[in-house]
Structure formats: structure tokens, C-alpha cells
Chains A and B, each alone.
Chain A
């Protein structure tokens, strides 16, 4: 176990059940302080449950959890006082204006009103929301509403920032703004935990990635290491391929077909040098036309799919 000084979140053998649903099943992981950590996993993997447990708004059945050195069960208030959060579900008052929602949040967090309002105006401008300040939230698009939640969370300079799918339906420009702000926070020592389904985004910005499935940790490492650990390379072949070809290429030794269409064949292989001549020979026998061949490493997204057992 790593030292408490370097660990922001420590979860050890945590179990949680909602009625008959086992949300967490012996989850164990550690989040280093000052890092940007992604939680990924299929729907129902236990990501949102974990976020709620960390904040102390939901209890757990057994195990040990510490957040910033505090126990969520008994010190939830102190944890929440040091944590900013963007929830997955829209936690806004739909019939109030954007500005009203921001003002309410400032008061609910007990922030200094004048200074926070000034900061809020700057953030709202950075996220392109200055023109909708007086509009009711219900009139905003899903992405705009999400950005209001992000702005509220960024009003704080917290030791811990938790974001549950923050960039869902947010435009690319605002995503970049968010990640730049988040990087500013991590450089000041803030730990950022975010859940996402956007694996390209995680590979690009995450320091660490934890892959969850069925309430358990499948693997946790840097996105690059995860791809390496899963191993293998990808052979991509472009050309013209008939439907009859498929039966012949699914049983090539050392190459597993993972994607195919009439213009593209994608194989996964642990020894592409050995597999490629066999693949080409089969295609030649079937009189397929090949226009391009490339070999590359497995991406984080492909590694993730293999880790969670998808196709």
C-alpha cells in the first residue's frame, strides 16, 4: 500500500449491494494525489456508485475507503467540503436561470459571494455561456447545461475534483477549455477523478485509467501501459473483399479477425510478422484485391474492449 501522503483515494475490498444488484464486488484501487485519473467501464460497472461512496452520500456494505485521509462513513461532510463534483445527472434547477443556478451554488458551498461571482462570470465566458446567463436552464441544450455544471465545480479550488462523464454532449472547444482548466488544477496539486466512455479523450489526457467491470477492478495503469499490457498489434488491410472470403479468414493461425467490411479487414495478432504472410496468402487464394496494409499497436480503446470482454 502506498503512503497516505501520496494517495488521495484508497479503496480496499469494498462491497456494495442495492437490493439484489451487486454494484461493487471487492473493489480495490488507489488514486495518486495530484493525478488525473479516469474510471472506465461498461454501464453498470459501478462507477457512479463509487463516486457516491467517495462523497459519503451512499454507504457501503464492507471494506475500507479513505478520501483525502478521511473516512466517508463518518467524515462525509469534511470530504464534501474539499471536493467539487460534476454529477452524471443534471443537478440544476431547470426553471431558474443559469445565473440563478450559479448564485445558488455559491451559497450552498458557502463561498465568498462577490469573489465567486466574478470568477463565475470569467468561467462562463470561457465556456461560451455569457449570452445565456438569464435564460432558464430548461431552454439550454444538453451540452450547455453540462457546461453550467462544470463552471460551478470549477468555482472551487478543491483538493479533489470528481467528474462523472463531464464531457458528454459538450462541444470540442469547450472540452479543450475544460481539460486546460483541469490541468491547471492538477499542476496545483488537485486530484481529478473522472468517469467517461470517451476512451480517446482518456488516452489523450489521463495520467491513470482504471477499468471496472461488474463492480471489480479489471486493470489499472496509464492508458499507454494498459494498451501495452493487453499486448498485441493490429493488422489493417484495405482493398475489396467478397462476403465468401469471411469463412476462409476467420481461421488463420496467429491472427484474429476483429472487424471486417467489404473494404477493410482488421486482425489482432501477437506476432504480426508471422501472421501477415499467412493472411496475404489466404487473400491471394481468394482473389481479393489489396490496396494497403498497415501494422500498428493496439490502442487504448481496443485494449479496453479486450479487457472488459467485448467484441
Chain B
């Protein structure tokens, strides 16, 4: 099955060949590298930018204002922070001009820990981003979701922040993207650039890809359950699912919802599940103070208060200035399978 890196490439291929994407650019995005995570290999509309994040976001905005369709990449979200006032402008362009100027741009950037990334390759960005109104924000955890959401992002007339979990970029998915060859080796042969000198003459061979989209704003229940609801996304979605599956042996049935979209988010799916299971655990890896999950806590508390059998819980990253390089540090700073399982177990055992 395709990896997230391959899924992004496939979506961008559809974007540039069918949806009018004019520019796919950022640091090392173009040939020969095709992105530090290979997400932009073999595409036609890619180019390498100066090492200047403000220039990348600003130029994408200018292209959007002039009617082009740009997909810009910030190599790691750890380096997006110096663009925040431009992101704010991109988000308020339509509102401040009373609908005259929309901003049809996509910004892609990998987020989160899990690759021994230390202080500047482990940041999360969703809480910060959710404070910039006017943007849609997605954070898929699987290749097929990355594919379908990126295509919806490209088609959206508004700015969309496409966050993707760097620790999962190279893992094969479990669900086939429509049009993807049956064999992973075949897909690799078709769209993975060879190493060395061969690359300069290489051209990808794209599979035929039928229409497929995942709408922005729709969550996915990745494991059904009856005793508690886990709201999660990104790298910790598969971790939560695995932990929940293991807890079945203890008689604990956890439902796991992968939000996929953070703004707008699927309030209907969340509230339906929480009202049914009466318990709610929120899991993400961003720092815990003014964490995006705290917004979900408010939503859940406000709408489900009289349904709840236990106080809802947020399990998130430690509020530390960075993720330490030594594994023992990262392991305690960011939720892992064991701590997620423990949080589920404890919540399941609380009775009002």
C-alpha cells in the first residue's frame, strides 16, 4: 500500500494535471530532491525556493491573489513560526475585503515527534494554527486520508493548512487508494525516484486515479467501542487504536475517532459518540497548555455534561520548551502506547 509520502505525491499529481495547481514549491521541493521526505518527487510544477519561509508563504499568497493555485511547503512546522503574521493575513483576506479576495492556497508542513527529531524537528502546530481564523486545518494519519484530504484542500477556495505526521510518512497504509496498483513494489517502481545518477533522467509513470475525495470536516471512527470515546488525530491516532485493541482483552471497549480535520471539525460525530459512551479521552502530542484538545474539552463539557459519567480527560505532550533528543526524554514528554492505554483504563474505571 502507498505511504503518506506517496499518497501526497499522487494527490499533487492529480492537482497539477486535473485541478489547475500552478505551483508546488518550497525549500528542496523541486528536482533533484523532491522534498526532504520525497513527497514532491517527479511532479511537473515543483520548484526550489530560497530558504525563506516568509517568502514562501508570501509568494503563495500573491499567487493566490492573482488567481493561481499554489501548494507551498514549509519543510518542518518547526520553521513556520516566523510566518505567523502572513498566515493571519491569508486568513483575513476574504473577511477584511468583504469577500472580494479569497485565498485559495494550500500550505503543507510535517508535524510532531517520533523520529528522534530533538528540539527543532518535533514541534506540533495545530493549537497555534487554530488561533488563526480563516484557515481550514487538516491533519490526516493515513495515506488514503492524506490523499483525499489534500485533494479537497486543493479544490477549496480558502487557505488550507495541511499538517501531516512526519513519523508516519513512510509507513504503508492499510487501505488502498483508488487506482493504486495492487502491489506496493509496482507503485514504488512507478513513482519512487531512483537514487544516484539515474534520477536525472527518470520520469514517473502515474497510475490512473479515479475521482476520490475526503471532505474537510469529517471524522472517521477507526475503532468502534461502547465504554469510552477517544478523540485523537495524527501520529497518536494509530497509537490510540492499537492501545484500544489491546484493552479489549481486559474487557474495556474504547471507541477511537480520528478527527482528520481540526477546523472545521466533526462536532456531530464527536457528540454522538461521547453521549453514547459517556466517557471521553482526548489524545494528542502538542504541549498541553492551551492545547487544541482543551477546545474539544469545552465542546464536550458544554454539550455532553449531563451525559458524562466521568470528567473528560486530555492526555497531551508535556509543557516543555522542546522535545529532548535522548529517547528517555521523548518517551516521557509525548504520550506513548502505554500511557494512552493507562489513560483509557483509568477513565473506564471511573464511575460517577
Asked if A and B are interacting partners, one says no
> A residues engaging B (CB < 8 A)?
none
> B residues engaging A (CB < 8 A)?
none
